Each structure stands twice: as C-alpha cells, then as structure tokens.
Amino acid sequence: MSGKPDKVRVAVVFGGRSAEHSISCVSAGSVMAALDPERYEVVPVGIATDGRWVLADPDQRLAITDGKLPEVVGGTAVSLVGDPAGRGLAVLEPSAAVGPALTEVDVVFPVLHGAYGEDGTIQGLLEMAGLPYVGSGVFASAASMDKEFTKKLLAAAGLPQGEHVVLRDAAGAVSADPALLDDAARERLGLPVFVKPARAGSSIGITRVTDWAQFPAAVAEAAAVDPKVLVEAAVPGREIECGVLAGPDGRPQASLPAEIRLRPGVDWYDFAAKYLDDAADFDIPAALSPGQTEAVQEAARRAYLALDCRGLARVDFFLGTAPDGSDRLVINEVNTMPGFTPISMFARMWAATGVDFADLVDRLVTGALDGGSRAAR
Ligand SMILES: Nc1ncnc2c1ncn2[C@@H]1O[C@H](COP(=O)(O)OP(=O)(O)O)[C@@H](O)[C@H]1O
Ligand SMILES: [Mg+2]
C-alpha cells in the first residue's frame, strides 16, 4: 500500500454494526466504482457486523448478487489512529502483503447507515483522529438520527411537525402500564398511529397501529430496537423526498423532488416495500406544480440548515391538504447518509437535476477536503 502522493487517498468506510449493514455495502460499492482512479486512490475499509475494522478486498463485489446481500467478511485487521499526527489507519496484523506502516488517508467517506455510522459516533472518532470526512458532523448526525430531536429542531426553525408523543424507557413502560397513553393523548393522535423506535432506519421496528388493542405490542416491538419510542399521528399526504447537496460555497442546494407512490394495497413504506417487493413507483421528478417544487426545495434547505447538516442530506416529506384547501407540507425525517447507489432516490433526484453519480461523489469528497474536519480547521 505505498502512497502515491499525486492521488488523493480516500478511505471508504462501509458495512457496520447496524441493521443496514448490507445496504451500506451496496452503497459503498457504488461510491468506490465512481471515484475517478486517475485522481483518487481508494482504501476500502469494511466494518464487520461485530464491529471489527478490516482492509477489505478491493475486488470484492459489493452488490446484490443472485438475491444475496453483500457483507463484510474478512481482511487484514486495521484500526483508526486516534492521534491526529498518525493521519489514518494502523495495520494490526502486519503481513507480507501489508506492512506495519500506517496507511495514510487524506479524507474519509463514511458510507454507513444507521447506528454507529449515521448517528455521530464515527464522526466523533474521525474528529478525534483529525481526518476530514464526507457528510454531517457529530451534532447534525446525532440530531438527525434521533426522531425526537429532529422534530424539536425543525419545529424551532418554524418547520411544522405532526402530532406526536415521546415514550421514554418504553420497554419498562409497557410492563408497568399496558395502556401507556391516556385517553386525551389517544384522542389527540387519533388512529392510525405510527409507533417507531426514535433512532433506527429502513422502517425497522415501526408498526402502523389501526386499533389501540395492537398498541402495547407495537410499543414493545419498537422498544426492542430503541428504549425511546415515538407515537405519531398518521400524516395524510403524498410521500415526497428532496436531495440537498452543499454548493461550492457550502450553502445548501436542493434537487428536484421525487415522489414515492405506493401501489394499491400497500399502506405504508415498510421494510419489505423498501427493499424486497415491487411495492412502489417512483416519480423522479415528482409531478408537482412549480410552486410546490419550490416550497419543497425551500423547506429541504431550511431543514438542512436547522439541523446544521454538512455535505448532503435527504429530506423526506408528506404533502397533504390543509382544512382550507391549501397545501400542507410536513417533514417526516432527515437522513444525513441516505442510500447511496445510482438507483437510490438521492442519486436519481440529483441525476434528474443534472448532477450525475460520479459528479455527486466528486463534489462530496472535494467539499470534505476543502472544509476539513472541525479538528483540522
Ligand atoms: N406519521 C406518519 N404518517 C404517515 N405515514 C408515516 C408516518 N410515519 C411513518 N410513516 C410511513 O412509514 C415509513 C417509514 O417511517 P420513517 O419515519 O421514515 O422511518 P425510517 O427512518 O425507518 O425510514 C414512511 O416512509 C411512511 O410511509
Ligand atoms: Mg424514512
């Protein structure tokens, strides 16, 4: 792994300990393939499901092959050097192929979704190590991962939120009081409600509850993922997404929005609808009036700023109708490291806006190098 000083060394970190391990591997495979080999040298760093860091085989096929999801399996064990002077990775098992020397890294692209990746934890590690990285910092990552605090910060910025209740220590609460919510709260929320783990993704642990009799089981299921559980009133409306990318000046730019149209009989965008079935149609761009498009883009940029995001984000909305007949736009959530393959919504929205996949990856890496990590600034 001799350094080529003329090329920028990008460590692409993928896999990880969250339920979205395989999705991350697929995203990383696409990112690595899109990095121009003339300008970038890729250091593929896999995190196994048990948390071990390994130098991955650069030729491993990180894609869904014959319906099988990719996974980080083995490789030379490495560790991030906490001392900023180290600037990169230490090889833990020196061998003939990989010497004991540090693998220097110029910039890190953490293509990780969910816990220990999109939630501020790896961002903190990279800050400590003094390495610049793609995407949001510690605070924005943690705040966007936590649906309670996302709502608080968006509301403080004047971006409307649906009715919701936060249950703390929900697992304990289920056994203490199977009713969980008083009548007034139930009245206010109405049915259906969405019961969700506060910090999760890919619809894992979420139940759409149509009868209060299902409620304790739904809370228990969410609490198995995260002890903090949100109970949200169902927000009627179309599901709209919008990509945000930092411009050369660091200011957020919004893509053309897209719409996820669930097929008849599909009530909501659950895990199966997202990854397994042909459950949805995607309109990219969404069929919206120019005014609606502008309103979505403006709200997406404001959400990015409200959460102090950096680099990129995907902002997800419900577009419904207010009692007076006007549009009602509610932000559902903000993803700081959205699914990142050429067929992911984020990439397709930017392609429709005129930024192709290789440009997207290049803009993010260049932006991270220009901005540097907080520690390096
Ligand atoms: N309050 C809500 N009203 C209506 N539909 C909802 C609501 N919350 C979630 N959903 C449905 O559930 C899906 C997943 O919820 P979301 O909060 O986006 O979780 P995740 O972070 O796992 O993607 C949404 O895409 C939407 O289809
Ligand atoms: Mg979502």
Q: Are 244 and 218 in contact (CB under 8 A)?
A: no
| Atom of ligand 1 at shortest range from CA of 262 | 27
Name the least confident of 18-32, 90-104, 351-365: 90-104
Report d(CA 35, CA 21) in Å as an integer.
21
Q: Which residue's C-alpha comes closest to atom 19 of ligand 1?
A: 203
Residues 41 and 20 in one domain: yes
Please tell me the predicted confidence (pLDDT) of residue 5: 59
Please tell me the predicted confidence (pLDDT) of residue 371: 81
Report the domain count for the chain. 3
Please tell me the predicted confidence (pLDDT) of residue 30: 94
Residues 23 and 120 in one domain: yes
Q: Which residue's C-alpha comes closest to atom 16 of ligand 1?
A: 203
Please tell me the predicted confidence (pLDDT) of residue 372: 54
| Atom of ligand 1 at shortest range from CA of 335 | 21
Residues 124 and 207 in one domain: no
Residues 189 and 271 in one domain: no
Please tell me the predicted confidence (pLDDT) of residue 176: 67
Q: Which residue's C-alpha comes closest to atom 1 of ligand 1?
A: 234
Q: Which residues line ligand 1 (CB under 6 A)?
A: 162, 194, 196, 200-203, 206, 232, 234-235, 239, 268-269, 316, 332-333
CB atoms within 10 A of CB 90: 17
Q: Which residue has the higher pLDDT, 306 or 265?
A: 306
| Atom of ligand 1 at shortest range from CA of 268 | 27
Residues 152 and 260 in one domain: yes
Please tell me the predicted confidence (pLDDT) of residue 373: 47
Please tell me the predicted confidence (pLDDT) of residue 135: 98
Please determine, for residue 66, whether its predicted confidence score (pLDDT) is greater than 90. no
Is residue 51 assigned to a domain? yes
Residues 265 and 329 in one domain: yes
Q: What is the pLDDT of residues 345-373, one digit of tens each?
A: 999 999 999 999 999 999 999 999 998 54
Q: Are 277 and 265 in contact (CB under 8 A)?
A: no
Q: Which of 212, 233, 254 lies at the terminal end of a domain, its last residue? A: 233
pLDDT band at 377 (very low <50, low <70, confident <90, very high): very low
- Supply the CATH number for residue 316's domain: 3.30.470.20
Is residue 36 assigned to a domain? yes
Q: Are 335 and 144 in contact (CB under 8 A)?
A: yes
Is residue 193 assigned to a domain? yes
DSSP annotation of 245 reads: E
- Supply the CATH number for residue 178's domain: 3.30.1490.20
- Residue of 203, 334, 335 with the most ligand 1 atoms within 8 Å of its CB, for mutation: 203
Residues 87 and 193 in one domain: no
Residues 61 and 176 in one domain: no
Is residue 285 assigned to a domain? yes
DSSP annotation of 325 reads: S
Please tell me the predicted confidence (pLDDT) of residue 282: 95
Is residue 374 assigned to a domain? no
Give residue 315's domain range.
Answer: 144-160+235-336
Is residue 274 assigned to a domain? yes
Please determine, for residue 238, whether its predicted confidence score (pLDDT) is greater than 90. yes
**Residue 262's beta-bridge partner residues?**
280
Residues 148 and 179 in one domain: no
- Supply the CATH number for residue 16's domain: 3.40.50.20
Residues 240 and 222 in one domain: no
3-state helix, strand, coil in the chain (%, to 5): 30, 25, 45
Q: Which distant-in-sequence residues (6+ apart) come within 8 Å of 16 by Cβ?
A: 24, 47, 49, 112, 113, 114, 115, 116, 117
Please determine, for residue 281, whether its predicted confidence score (pLDDT) is greater than 50. yes
pTM metric for this prediction:
0.94
Report d(CA 262, CA 299) in Å as an integer.
23
CA 203 to ligand 1 center in whole angstroms: 7
Q: What is the pLDDT of residues 116-156, one digit of tens each?
A: 889 999 999 999 999 999 999 999 999 999 999 999 999 99
| Atom of ligand 1 at shortest range from CA of 162 | 1
CA 217 to ligand 2 center in whole angstroms: 21
Q: Which of 233, 259, 283 lies at the terminal end of a domain, its last residue? A: 233
| Atom of ligand 1 at shortest range from CA of 232 | 1
Please tell me the predicted confidence (pLDDT) of residue 219: 95
Q: Are 201 and 335 in contact (CB under 8 A)?
A: yes
Please determine, for residue 178, whether its predicted confidence score (pLDDT) is greater than 60. yes
Tokens of 292: 């609606």
Judged by its nearest atom, the ligand closest to the C-alpha of residue 270 is 1
Find, among 122, 110, 130, 80, the residue nearest to 10 by Cα: 110
Calculate ∠ Cα 319-324-330, nearest 5°: 25
Percent of the chain with pLDDT over 70: 93
DSSP annotation of 7 reads: S
Residues 76 and 200 in one domain: no
Question: Side chain identity at 22, as an amino acid letter?
Answer: S
| Residues found in the chain | 377
Residues 200 and 241 in one domain: no
Judged by its nearest atom, the ligand closest to the C-alpha of residue 194 is 1
Please tell me the predicted confidence (pLDDT) of residue 375: 42
Q: Could you give the strand order of the β-sheet that contains 107-110, starting from the edge strand earlier in sequence?
A: 103-104, 88-91, 76-80, 53-55, 40-47, 8-15, 107-110
Is residue 376 assigned to a domain? no
Report d(CA 132, CA 367) in Å as an integer.
10
Q: Which of 116, 134, 152 lies at the terminal end of a domain, its last residue? A: 134
Q: What is the mean pLDDT of residues 31-56?
A: 94
Is residue 360 assigned to a domain? no
